[in-house]
Structure 1
């Protein structure tokens, strides 16, 4: 990356970005915003990387799929401040990434790492931001302005949790199924039996979201149609499986099963797929 930059191959036009790259964050020092591109499985161990970048008001923006560790921070209501064991085991993530610093981010971009330093952009340029405590803050507007100046879509949402569930509707179903079946988005959508399983997983997920007061605002059929249009894209979970990396399924699937237990919602299909994909994750890590 130092020698050649990051090459991006995109329908919007190919380009090379020459970012300042270092393996020592102390060279950079404190910054206003830390944008994490790590998998959620790496958060608990990222303290030495993040600590040199923090000053008193530094925000930490985690561009992750699934349920974030800060989900119940400033949530309000009976679950306010609750910790989810599946995404923040024994508080290990909160210990290094304080929820007070968190700004939520939902990524609507499909990409693949084609080679070291080479990213293939399939579609999407939207990165939605939002405060755990809801509302529109100055720090979110500042970061949004910088992102939009770089040519990205970056709305600040008054309640980002609705966006979290909208994105999760696809990730919770397509990601584990793609790894289990070694299938692309188009293949899953066009296989009748698999499509019906995915529809059921989405319905159960919507029930959990509604029990927590969130509205997705998009029908399952429309969500499936959008996924099919992506074509023969391999989900990030399938890419990780093929490369022998840890599977980021706890924040996608285990977290929603845990939330279903908290809210008393029945999710039998999610539980079944979770059990099978969890075994896959354990075997792939062995």
Structure 2
């Protein structure tokens, strides 16, 4: 893959990498749907960045408790999101197109993993409750 020009590093703990996608998707999609904002618009709001950091921190704690500590710090993940300021999250695109929001798997997954880890995720729970109500009104 490297010879073909793809960035494909060898990693020591492959199990930790799927957490990056799950956590980013959960956090950014929910906030984008609730605010109708692009990544850049969200990134321009200090209050929303604090909310995203709290959500990521809670999710990172769950991942770590289950043996999948995210290999990239949340600050690096936030910076990567800011690098695509005009990007609309997929769930926001679904909302704008009148498609059903596929939020159930996100809610069910984090709740199940949180329960297995024996942790609480109050910020995530609150944001996902808002997302659920928004989706039901769509």
SS in 2 for 1:232: coil
1:267 deviation in Å?
Answer: 0.3
The separation in 2 between residues aligned to 1:159 and 1:168, in whole angstroms, is 16
Give 1 or 2 for the bigger CA radius of gyration: 1
Normalized against structure 2, the TM-score is what? 0.88
1:190 maps onto 2:44 in alignment: yes
The separation in 2 between residues aligned to 1:245 and 1:151, in whole angstroms, is 36
- CA-to-aligned-CA distance 1:47-74 (integer Å, 9 cap, x gap): xxxxxxxxxxxxxxxxxxxxxxxxxxxx
Match among 246, 252, 255 for residue 106 of structure 2: 252
The separation in 1 between residues aligned to 2:2 and 2:104, in whole angstroms, is 31
Structure 2: any 5+ residue segments left out of the alignment?
Answer: none
Give the match for residue 266 of structure 1.
120
The separation in 2 between residues aligned to 1:247 and 1:186, in whole angstroms, is 22
Aligned residues: 138
The separation in 2 between residues aligned to 1:202 and 1:163, in whole angstroms, is 14
Give the match for residue 104 of structure 1.
none
Alpha-carbon RMSD: 2.1
SS in 2 for 1:230: coil
Q: Which has the higher helix share?
A: 2
| 1:272–1:214 Cα change, 3 Å | same
The separation in 2 between residues aligned to 1:237 and 1:154, in whole angstroms, is 27
Q: Which has the higher strand share?
A: 1
The separation in 2 between residues aligned to 1:182 and 1:209, in whole angstroms, is 28
Q: Larger RCO: Structure 1 or Structure 2 (Cα < 8 Å, ≥ 6 residues apart)? A: 2
| 1:177–1:154 Cα change, 3 Å | same
| 1:246–1:151 Cα change, 3 Å | farther
Structure 1: any 5+ residue segments left out of the alignment?
Answer: 1-146
